[in-house]
Amino acid sequence: MFKGSFVALITPMTQDGQVDYDDLEKLIDFHIEQGTDGIVVVGTTGESTTITVEEHIAIVKHTVRYTNERVPVIAGNGANSTAHAIELTKQLALTGVDAMLCVTPYYNKPSPAGLIAHFKSIAAVTDIPQILYNVPSRTAVDMLPETVAVLSKISNIIGIKEASGDVARVSQLRQLCGDDFVLLSGDDGTAKRFLQEGGQGVISVVNNIVPNLFKKMCSASLEGNVIKADELDILMQGLYKSLFIEANPIPVKWAACKMGIIKNQYIRLPLTELSKVNHGLLIEAMEKAQIEVN
């Protein structure tokens, strides 16, 4: 179930800052039509840190209902407060999601013992599969393979989204956590190599705007077709850089709006819309990836 090309879905909003459910449905259909293997909703790319708990649950419910089992749906349940993450997990367990994605606590920088206690406490309140998420560039804490190995012994902690960019961790995690533990890349720029080293899939930001191209690259990598994977990956090299020229999801929301797959690029404070000075760079990368720009 958790293999291939997953999208870290943006949360479309109206011009006055409300969740745009019409555009959310449009995005879901777009990704299913383009071959995306699964949807991650209200993760960090989905602005989980500035969405209220009520909105969070409503977005997940709507996504599960509208997707209607066409692809797996994974919901973000992370927070830097263990109590908050537990409460969110309890509510998400009633939505019908296939799994949850839990980011390491941000800002407060827990020790390995703190990380183990945090994730163990969250996993204990549900039977739904839990996927760990390590993204040290955004959270200021790096969950090392040895810590992941301890957590992998918990029955419903089934995998990790590893976004450190260190591809060497694939073999380390596989050796420490076993063959059944799901290894997903969370770093678009190294995703191809991650898959070729033995990862099973990718939860991707770039996938928001080039789902078919990204899916083909993932499939070629998983099939061992190195030449084809390289050819497809080269087309997206500019996107891997330009979609992170400002804080995610600022650039990808701008690009999705430019493509017409969402109506506007509204993003909640403290993030703001993409600076005009970066528009040209992103358009150039989009055109190289064969995206039609309006």
Q: Is 40 left (phi over 0), alpha (psi -120 to 50) or beta?
A: beta
What whole-number distance in Å separates Cα of residue 131 and Cα of residue 197? 20
Is residue 261 helix, strand or coil? coil
Which CA distances in Å does 102 have to 18, 35, 76, 89, 237?
24, 25, 6, 9, 28
161 is catalytic: yes
Active-site residue among 66, 133, 192, 253?
133
Q: Give 21: exposed, middle or buried? Use CB within 10 Å, 0-12, 13-18, 19+.
A: middle
Burial 28-39 (b: 16+ CB within 10 A, else e): bebbbebbbbbb
Q: Is 100 left (phi over 0), alpha (psi -120 to 50) or beta?
A: beta
Contacts of 272 (CB under 8 A, 6+ apart): 250
Q: Which alpha helices (DSSP H) does 163-236 contain, by range?
A: 169-177, 191-196, 211-222, 226-235
Active-site residue among 21, 90, 107, 161?
161
Tokens 């992103």 map to which residue?
A: 282
Which CA distances in Å does 98 have to 9, 60, 64, 94, 153?
16, 11, 9, 11, 20
Nearest to 5 by CA among 46, 42, 39: 39
What whole-number distance in Å separates Cα of residue 72 and Cα of residue 69? 6
240 is catalytic: no
Annotated ligand binding at 45? The verdict is yes
- Contact yes or no for 34/211 (Cβ under 8 A): yes
**Residue numbering of the annotated binding site for pyruvate:** 45, 203
**Residue numbering of the annotated binding site:** 45, 203
Active site (catalytic) residues: 133, 161
